[in-house]
Amino acid sequence: MSEGAHTGIDKLPTGIEGLDLLLRGGLPARRLTLLLGSAGAGKSVISLQTLYNAARAGTPGLVVCFEETPQEILENVGDFDWDLGSCLDRTLHLMEAHVGDDFFAAGDFDISGLLAAVASKVEATGARWVVFDGLDALLRALGGHRAGLRELLRLRRWIAERRVAAIVTAKSGEPDSGAYGSEFGFLPFVADCVVRLTYDPVEDVFVRSIRVSKHRGGPSAGAQVPFVIDGRGVTVAYREGRRLDHQVSETRVSTGISRLDHLIGGGYLRASSVLVSGSPGTAKTTLAAALAHAACARGEKALFISFDESGAQIVRNMRSVGIELDGYQASGLLRLEGFRAHGISAEDHLLEIEALIQAHEPALLLVDPVSALAKAGGHRLAAAVTERLLDRAKSLGITVLMTSLLEDLAPDHEGTASHVSTIADTWIALSYNVHAGERNRALTIIKARGTEHSNQVRELRLSAQGPTLTDVYTAGGEVLMGTARIEREVQAQREHQRRETEYGAQLSREAAEIDEMQERIKVLTRELEARRRRMEAVRADYTEHERSREDEVSRVRRARDADPDPARGE
Amino acid sequence: MKVSLYVAGDAPTSRAARQALEALLDELRGVCVNYELVDVLLHPERALKAGLLATPTLIVDAGGRSRRFVGDLANRGDFAETIKAFCDQQRDATQTRG
């Protein structure tokens, strides 16, 4: 039990995922809650689930059945994985108040007899919850509008006195026809809390939704929120403020493509969810199949749900790209299930998938494409169902890979219609890169929670040896793939060779010049030597000449015996 | 034949039903009728046992066949006819045996 934080009105939790959040804690304790909805909308299930949850937690509850017998009501919820036996007649009690065939109206009456009976049962069982299931059947038997209102006010007074939380369920007519308004239109005015359920066709399937239209003394979200009924009962797809407390794993599982493993830190995290989005033909299924193949190769079980193709088609198509699945299918490791997307509600798909999970107990779940669920009742429901499925898988430690079709082929349009991309732990976008009349597959890791990952676009290539990734060629700010990549690579190679030749030529030219110059230096050096030698010879000649001239002068003077000439320093 | 009238204390409808039923029983002078008045406010377990939805409720039980009349019995026709018819059948059966 939790106290209403804003108002001081005590709340009793319903224990139904999402609904307590929508109701900001639960339904008002000691007050009357009206659960309105068309036939089959899930009124009985929600009220019974609330009491079952309370009963398991030790809070007793009582269901007063007006329209169906207790046996019928138990049969209605018999398919859920509830352990009713553990609390039935201990903390969960059913009481028949069936308006039978032997009922003759003989004038004016009131429901004090019934209330006295219920009161004694409440006292005997200690019930804190009382459900009046199908009260409209009784009101109808009462006849007039005035009698109905009077008795409902009596019921409300009784609830306040007994201090029990009461849920009254009643059928409502079509929301727009006003049919209900004319019959028991007073019902919502008498109730403290009004919850409306609808079960309406959306895009050719029926979709359930819930709305809190009145919540006296407390805030309510007021939004129309889809809900699903599956093997565990009702889940309301209301997420705000929801606590996530799944066990996290650090183990990596191979993607089946070694280069992709390398890109995302060794593989996908076990028990995480992977979204592979892309236009038709971008090899989403191939990526899923590669992962399935890798899981089976490790001896793990995989469950492959296909909405587009039959299992046989997938096996055949994957063989052409080097992924052999038939062996694993035969050995029972791989289970391939082809579903038809149209005409069945996403909710029913969820039920089927959950049943398959239970039967096959896979370590890996593949849903191809999860966007097919949106065909079955609109995006909001699909998102709710997907979230539920992921939640379920995570709690069981199952790794999930979903593919999602992108209707929009614009290259920068990476957002999927459903909000799956925000829930998924890893998001890989596949796209086509169109260049020079050619389409090539590109792979981008948009996000990978808890993983260092490359921000580079890679080319995804399929061959008989299996899928692989190739680095893309970037040139001048352009990402090139396929033939363009090859062409550009060849072109660059040629350019390189041309340059190499050019350099070679230039080098040898320069070398030759240097050689020539060195030759010239040698010649000049030789010339220089010769000149030097000639200069030495001249100098020697000159010295000889000077000396012989002086000798001649001395000889002549001696011969003339002349006196020394003072002018000449003699 | 057992005739049980379930009332909720002294509520106006309960009082009216009681008056209407007892007037009829007076006419029949108690012949072949075992009459019981149950106040569900005092004995809610009886209401529970009878699977009671509303008060006042008259339950006419004649050897396996039973009828329920819910309301203040303002319209005397139906319940009086039934009780008289059951009475007649019972008397016929007794006389045949006798």
Its sign, for the CA torsion B86, B89, B95, B96, is negative
Q: Are A377 and A346 in contact (CB under 8 A)?
A: yes
Cβ contact, residue pair B13, A107, below 8 Å = yes
Please answer yes or no on whether B54 and A119 come within 8 Å at the CB atom: no
Which of A431-440, A522-531, B4-13, B18-27 comes out lowest in average pLDDT? Answer: A431-440
Q: Do A107 and B73 touch (CB under 8 A)?
A: yes
**CA of residue A350 relative to chain centroid, distance:** 17
Nearest one of B83, B86, B53, B87 to B71, comparing CA atoms: B53
Separation of CA A383 from chain center? 10
Phi-psi region of A233 (alpha: psi -120 to 50; beta: other; left: phi over 0): left
Distance (Å, whole) CA A38 – CA B81: 40
Distant-in-sequence, close-in-space partners of A188: CB < 8 Å, separation ≥ 6 = A34, A36, A194, A213, A214
Q: Which tens digit of pLDDT belongs to each residue from A278-331?
A: 888 888 899 999 999 999 999 999 999 998 788 888 999 899 888 999 899 999
Q: Angle at the Cα of A61 (from A60 to A62), degrees rounded to 5?
A: 140
Instruction: Indicate the residue of B47, B52, B79 with minimum beta-carbon distance to A106.
Output: B79
Mean pLDDT of chain B: 84
ipTM score: 0.81
Tell me if chain A has a CB within 8 Å of the CB of B60.
no
User: Distance (Å) from the C-alpha of residue A229 to the closest C-alpha of chain B?
Assistant: 31
Query: Residue B64: CA atoms inside 13 Å, Cβ hemisphere, count?
Result: 1
pLDDT at position A220, please? Answer: 53
Chain B contact for A120, CB < 8 A? yes
Structure tokens at A34: 């009206």
CB contact under 8 A, B73 and A106: yes
Task: Assess A141–B contact: CB distance below 8 Å, yes or no.
Answer: yes
Runs of H (alpha helix) within A253-324: 258-263, 284-297, 311-319
- Write the single-letter amino acid at A351: L
Strands A473-475 and A468-471: unpaired
Half-sphere exposure of B25 (CA within 13 A, CB side): 20
Mutate to test the interface with A, among B13, B41, B70 (most CBs of A within 10 A): B70
From chain A residues 441-500, the ones with a CB under 8 A of any chain B CB are none
Chain A residues with CB under 8 Å of B52 CB are 113-114, 116-117
pLDDT of residue A98: 76
Interacting residues of A467 by C-beta distance below 8 A, sequence separation 6+? A256, A257, A283, A286, A287, A290, A321, A322, A323, A460, A461
Residue A230's pLDDT is 79
The identity of residue A6, as a single letter, is: H
For CA atoms A426, A432, A434, A438, give the dihedral sign: positive
Q: Is B56 on the interface with A (CB under 8 A)?
A: yes
Token pair of A14 as six digits: 């319903």
Judged by CB atoms closer than 8 Å, whether chains meet at A116 and B40 is answered as yes
Q: B12 to chain A, minimum CA–CA distance in Å?
A: 9
- In tens digits, chain A (570 residues) has pLDDT values of 444 444 466 888 999 878 888 888 888 888 899 998 888 888 999 999 999 999 999 999 999 998 888 888 888 888 888 888 888 988 999 988 877 666 777 778 888 888 888 998 999 999 999 999 988 888 777 776 777 788 888 899 999 898 899 999 988 754 444 444 456 677 778 888 889 898 877 666 677 888 888 877 665 556 777 788 877 888 776 655 444 555 567 788 899 988 888 888 888 988 888 988 888 888 889 999 999 999 999 999 999 999 878 888 899 989 988 899 989 999 999 999 888 766 677 777 887 888 888 888 999 999 988 877 766 656 667 777 787 788 878 878 899 999 887 653 333 334 444 466 677 888 888 888 777 677 788 888 888 877 767 777 788 888 887 888 887 766 666 667 777 777 777 888 888 888 888 888 889 889 989 999 999 999 999 999 999 999 999 999 999 999 999 999 888 888 887 666 666 655
Contact A237, A383 (CB under 8 A): yes
Q: Report yes or no: A567 at the B interface, CB cutoff 8 Å.
A: no
CA distance B98 to chain A (A): 32
Q: Please answer yes or no on whether A100 and B68 come within 8 Å at the CB atom.
A: yes
Q: Report helix angle A135-142 to A145-162, nearest 10.
A: 130
Structure tokens belonging to residue A245: 């407390």
* Beta-carbon separation of A107 and B71 below 8 A: yes
What is the arithmetic mean of pLDDT over B81-97?
77
Chain A CB within 8 Å of residue B69 CB: yes
Per-state percent for chain B, helix, strand, coil, to nearest 5: 45, 25, 30
Residue type present at position A112: S
- Which one of A104, A157, A158, A162 would you mutate to disrupt binding with B, by most B Cβ within 10 Å of its Cβ? A104
- Cα separation, A97 vs A67, whole angstroms: 8
Beta bridge partners, A443, equal A430, A458
Rg (CA), chain A: 46
For residue B56, cis peptide bond before it (omega within 30 degrees of 0): yes
Task: Kindly state whether B81 is in contact with chain A, defined as any CB-CB distance less than 8 angstroms.
Answer: no
Judge contact between A216 and A31, C-beta under 8 A. Answer: yes
pLDDT of the residue at A6: 46
Q: Which residues of A touch B68 (CB under 8 A)?
A: 100, 102-104
List B55's β-bridge partners, or say none: A110
Structure confidence at residue A3 (pLDDT): 40
Contacts of A541 (CB under 8 A, 6+ apart): none
CA distance A555 to A550: 9
> Can you tell me the distance from the alpha carbon of B7 to that of B21, in angstroms, rounded to the nearest whole number?
12
Element (H, E) at A499: helix A482-560
Is the Cβ–Cβ distance between A212 and A193 less than 8 Å? yes
Q: Does B54 touch chain A (CB under 8 A)?
A: yes
Which residues of chain B are within 8 Å of residue A111 when distances are taken between CB atoms? 53-55
Q: Which residue has the tokens 């050619």?
A: A438
The pLDDT value recorded for residue A370 is: 82
pLDDT in tens, A352-373: 888 888 888 999 999 988 877 7
Q: Per the structure block, which two tokens stand in for A525?
A: 């050096």
- As a whole number of angstroms, the distance between CA A224 and CA A511 comes to 86
Residue numbers of A between 90 and 109 with CB closer than 8 Å to B: 95-100, 102-109
Q: Which of A31, A153, A2, A15 is nearest to A92 (CA)?
A: A15
Q: Kindly give the pairing relationship between strand A225-230 and strand B34-39.
A: unpaired
Cα separations in angstroms, A268 against A294, A431, A447, B79: 12, 20, 12, 77
- Under the phi-then-psi rule, with left for phi > 0, alpha for psi from -120 to 50, and beta for the rest, what region is A171? beta
So what's the pLDDT on residue A414? 41
3-state SS assignment for residue A39:
coil
Residue in A367, A459, A402 with CA at minimum distance from that of residue A277: A402
Place of tokens 């050019």: A502
Q: Which two tokens stand for residue A197?
A: 């359920």
Calculate ∠ Cα A270-A276-A281, nearest 5°.
140
